[in-house]
Amino acid sequence: MSKQKELIKNTIIIFIGKISTQFLTFFLLPIYTRFLSTSDYGYVDLILTYISLLVPVITIQQEMATFRYLVDSRNDNKKIKKIISNSIWNILLYSVLSIMLFLIVIQFTSFKYFYYIVINIVVCIFSNLFMQIARGLGKNIQYSIASFVTGLITVTSNIILICYYGIGAKGMLISMTLANIICCIYLFFSLKLYKYISTKEKDSNLSKEMMKYSLPLVPNGISWWFINVSDRTIISFILGVSANGIYAVANKFPSIISSFLGIFNLSWTESASLHINDKDRDEFFSNVAKNVLHIFSSLCLGIIAVLPFIFNIIIGKKYIDSYNYIPIFLIGSMCSCIVSIYSAIYIAKKMTKKVAYTSIASAVINIVINLIFIKYIGLYAAAISTALAYFIMMIYRHFDLKKYVNIKYNFKDIMITIIMFTISILLYYVNNNIGNIINIALAIIYALFVNLKYLKLLFKKRKYINL
């Protein structure tokens, strides 16, 4: 199977399992914006943000090292058992130490939903590890099923706990915990992980080697957290949790891009790692980068064009101000798509330190801009700082990677995309019926124009998606 066919097949397998639940989760937004106040939603969004920070810090990104080392060991069952066993024992140790630390912290401070948060962190740690083991073993179907089950449980339990029982923020945390527990149980038995757990397989040298790989990813993970969600902390502290609720809703629309990107990036990271040393890698990687630019810019423009028609339908009146910030976040999401393509190449070459350095620099830029301007332009500062941080990281990584992989773009495509975004955003803010209709027409024409070759290939090669 060629590299392109392999990438398409893996992407579609993961897509089937994740995309339906991603959309279901997105369409919980009307429930959140009608049943939760801006302050309640802002508060729980902040909690989930800190969970996303703590999980990779506690695990020292062991799950990513597990994935990468399993990719290189798929034909060596003995090595597979050693990698998985060491990873699980290490993660278990990290979790126990973290729980002990949390129990000490609670003696000196008071935090709403503290125990729910601690339980959530622990189950997320194991859920992430098991998911990366599935990917590392090439078990994308199991990964896809686990994603579907997790999303379905999250959606169902959220509706029951928030709408029927009315327990709001606590219900969101319970739903997330329950979904991740079921995900862990499913993967533990479907992957037969119990066969890999043995104290006899402990290998301190392997653990040190994997830690050497994963440790630079920790500052990278923290930096990504700063870029993505440090804004929430600054907003909550300076503007209040209600403003953070507005910010969180505005970010939900770019999360559509993130969801699609996350699905693609799972299979792309695997393909990049498998084919990083191939002779035709430059051509392969360039084609992937150009396709990502075309597909995700089309998706961004489509969201911008459609939003004026659907925003008031799906979003409660309390959150109406979030409309103003969405295009800026979408620009940031567009840049993050290219950044993710480059990140996978760094990871494939095991150059995780490079990932860390560039992420830290961008994180600093994001925080500085946010802190300087938030008092003057409010939530616009958070949106602009995030978009600018991604843009700078994208430019730097592009030229830095040329030392190792020569990725080329069509200059004409880039200029057309910039012009289209400019026109689309102007029409979005003018927001009249004629302009909005024109915007949709332009988005459709652009999508067909830049993706025509890809669409033809997809229809011709439907046989490649057969499992």
Amino acid letter, residue 372:
I
Sketch the domain layout of the chain as residue ranges.
226-467
Q: Which residue has the tokens 């969405």?
A: 326
Q: Please compute the mean of the pLDDT values over residues 51-76 and round it to a whole number.
A: 81
pLDDT of residue 150: 85
Question: What is the average pLDDT value for the chain, to the nearest integer?
Answer: 81
Question: Could you give phi then psi for residue 259, rounded to 5 degrees?
Answer: -65, -50
pLDDT digits (tens, 9 = 90+) for 135-176: 888 887 888 888 888 888 888 888 888 877 778 778 888 888
For residues 68, 259, 255 and 302, what is the CA-based torsion angle, rounded to 10 degrees?
Answer: 130
Q: Please compute the mean of the pLDDT values over residues 118-140 and round it to a whole number.
A: 88
Which range among 32-41, 173-182, 309-318, 371-380 shows the weakest confidence by mean pLDDT? Answer: 32-41
Crossing angle of helices 38-59 and 168-190, in 10° steps, is 30
pLDDT of residue 458: 54
196 pLDDT exceeds 60?
yes
Whole-model pTM over 0.75: no
Q: Cα(451)–Cα(313) distance, rounded to whole angstroms?
A: 30
Q: Six-digit token pair at 245? A: 């609720």
Angle at 175 between CA 169 and CA 180, to 5 degrees: 135
First to last CA, the chain: 12
21 pLDDT exceeds 60?
no
E-assigned strand segments in 146-206: none
The long-range contacts involving 159-168, CB below 8 angstroms and separated by at least 24 positions, are 159/28, 159/31, 162/31, 162/32, 162/35, 162/36, 163/31, 163/35, 166/35, 168/35, 168/36, 168/40, 168/44
Q: How confident is the model at residue 465 (pLDDT cuts 50, 70, 90)?
A: very low
Q: Cα(142)–Cα(310) distance, rounded to whole angstroms?
A: 35
E-assigned strand segments in 68-207: none
For residue 190, which of 225, 149, 242, 232 has the smallest C-alpha distance? 149
Q: Six-digit token pair at 292? A: 């990502």
The 3-state DSSP class for residue 288 equals: helix
**DSSP assignment string, 37-57:** -HHHHHHHHHHHHHHHHHHHH
- Contacts for 26 with CB less than 8 Å, ≥ 6 apart: 252, 255, 256, 259
Q: Please compute the mean of the pLDDT values over residues 45-67 and round it to a whole number.
A: 80
- Contacts for 45 with CB less than 8 Å, ≥ 6 apart: 232, 244, 245, 248
pLDDT digits (tens, 9 = 90+) for 408-430: 888 888 899 999 999 999 999 99
Q: What is the CA radius of gyration of the chain?
A: 22
Q: Cα(351)–Cα(343) distance, rounded to whole angstroms?
A: 9
pLDDT digits (tens, 9 = 90+) for 201-252: 777 888 888 887 777 666 555 656 666 667 777 888 888 878 878 888 888 7
